[in-house]
Amino acid sequence: MEKQVKAAILGSGNIGTDLMYKILKNPGSLQLSLMSGIDPESEGLARAKSYGLDISIEGINGILQDPDIQIVFDATSAKAHIRHAKLLKEAGKIAIDLTPAAVGPYVVPPANLNDHMDADNVNLITCGGQATIPLVHAVSRVCKVKYAEMVSTVASSSAGPGTRQNIDEFTFTTARGLEAIGGAEKGKAIIILNPAEPPILMRNTVYAAYEHGHEDEIAASIEQVIAEVQEYVPGYRLTRKPIFDVRDTPEGKWPVVILLLEIEGAGDYLPSTAGNLDIMTSSAKRVAEVKAKYLLKQVLS
């Protein structure tokens, strides 16, 4: 049996519940033992209990009482995580932050996860960032990216109050992620909430202006990164081959590559149209799995 690291989910809403289903379906190096929330009537806590997990309505305190829990997924809110981060650090626990708090470094698994293996708190940026930064990273590791722009369109039904209240933070944080992790000299992000019924799948357009690059090398790098993301988000795919052109950009006239990306959720708890939420929970699980293996390796050595 594979050795495991004990983990807990803080927050029993849609994100925390979907994450629970993903871990229980394929735990790997994670032993999910507890879900903690603050609402006694929470559907997520009821589902966790039905699957044999320990549950608590004491929030962060329910997790701090167990010294054996090493990894904690925070699926609450940015305001709450600022308080949680300090308490988890003092307790020697690793925080995987699914909120916009950004206490720890931004992490996108295919791009920079290995750079932050010793970080005790990592932030998953935004759903749009997890979707599009890998593609810009794929271009920038081949050649210089002068400008990167992403437009993310998600079903209105999959954008909760938190997303709607943080649109400005979404665009700012994602744009900075395109630069800091994606490697673009300048980034821009736009989000569109589409109220169509039935709900649409998450769709993203990525537009990267580059310098001194070769189309075949760029296309090969993109294909490799897509395969890496598909290891933990199977519904992550381009709807057509990369489009190469020369266009005017805010940084001047440059060769560009345009990528049309679609994300279909796994449907573990949330509907398949909620690809924007699915990529967050899938990325969180991926980060935790890699960190758990790193912790186990340290113990063995």
Which of 171-175, 226-230, 237-241, 256-260 is least confident? 171-175
CA proximity to 74, closest of 42, 121, 114: 121
Helix (H) or strand (E) holding 213: none
* 78 phi/psi in degrees, rounded to 5: -60, -45
Look at residue 167 and give its three-state secondary structure. helix
Look at residue 241 and give its three-state secondary structure. coil
* 3 DSSP 8-state letter: -
Kindly report, as residue ranges, where domains of CATH 3.40.50.720 are found in the chain.
Answer: 5-124+280-300
Bridge partners of 123, per DSSP, are 97, 106
Q: How far apart are CA 125 and CA 98, in angstroms?
A: 8
Q: Is 16 annotated as a binding residue?
A: no
Q: Is 14 annotated as a binding residue?
A: yes
Q: Is 166 annotated as a binding residue?
A: yes
Our measurement of the distance from residue 294's CA atom to the centroid of its chain's CA atoms, rounded to an integer in Å, reads 19
pTM of the model: 0.94
Work out the number of other CB atoms within 10 angstroms of the CB of residue 262: 16
Planar angle of CA 56, 58, 64, nearest 5 degrees: 90
Q: Which of the listed CATH numbers 3.30.930.10, 2.170.120.40, 3.40.50.920, 3.30.360.10 matches domain 127-272?
A: 3.30.360.10
160 pLDDT above the threshold of 90: no
Write out the two tokens for 119.
Answer: 């970080």
Q: Is 160 annotated as a binding residue?
A: yes
Our measurement of the distance from residue 43's CA atom to the centroid of its chain's CA atoms, rounded to an integer in Å, reads 23
Question: Model confidence over 84-95: pLDDT tens digits?
Answer: 999 999 999 999
Q: Is 12 annotated as a binding residue?
A: yes
Q: How far apart are CA 293 and CA 2, in angstroms?
A: 10
What is the pLDDT at residue 1?
Answer: 55
Look at residue 155 and give its three-state secondary structure. strand
Greater confidence (162 vs 283) lies with 283
Look at residue 218 and give its three-state secondary structure. helix
Question: Model confidence over 104-117: pLDDT tens digits?
Answer: 999 999 999 999 99
Task: Write out the CATH class of domain 5-124+280-300.
Answer: alpha beta
Q: Is 162 annotated as a binding residue?
A: yes
- Strand 121-123 to 94-97 pairing: parallel
Write out the two tokens for 164.
Answer: 């709607």
Look at residue 299 and give its three-state secondary structure. helix
Which of 50-54, 166-170, 258-262 is least confident? 166-170
Kindly report, as residue ranges, where domains of CATH 3.30.360.10 are found in the chain.
Answer: 127-272
Residues tagged active-site: 127
Q: Is 61 annotated as a binding residue?
A: no
What is the pLDDT at residue 181?
Answer: 97
Write out the two tokens for 148.
Answer: 């990167």
Bridge partners of 35, per DSSP, are 9, 55
Average pLDDT estimate for 123-152: 96
Identify residue 212 by its one-letter amino acid code: H
Look at residue 219 and give its three-state secondary structure. helix
What is the pLDDT at residue 85?
Answer: 97
Q: How far apart are CA 35 and CA 57, in angstroms?
A: 9
pLDDT band at 159 (very low <50, low <70, confident <90, very high): confident
Q: Is 159 annotated as a binding residue?
A: yes
What is the pLDDT at residue 20?
Answer: 98
Q: Which single residue is written with the structure tokens 């736009």?
A: 190
Q: Is 13 annotated as a binding residue?
A: yes
301 pLDDT above the threshold of 70: no
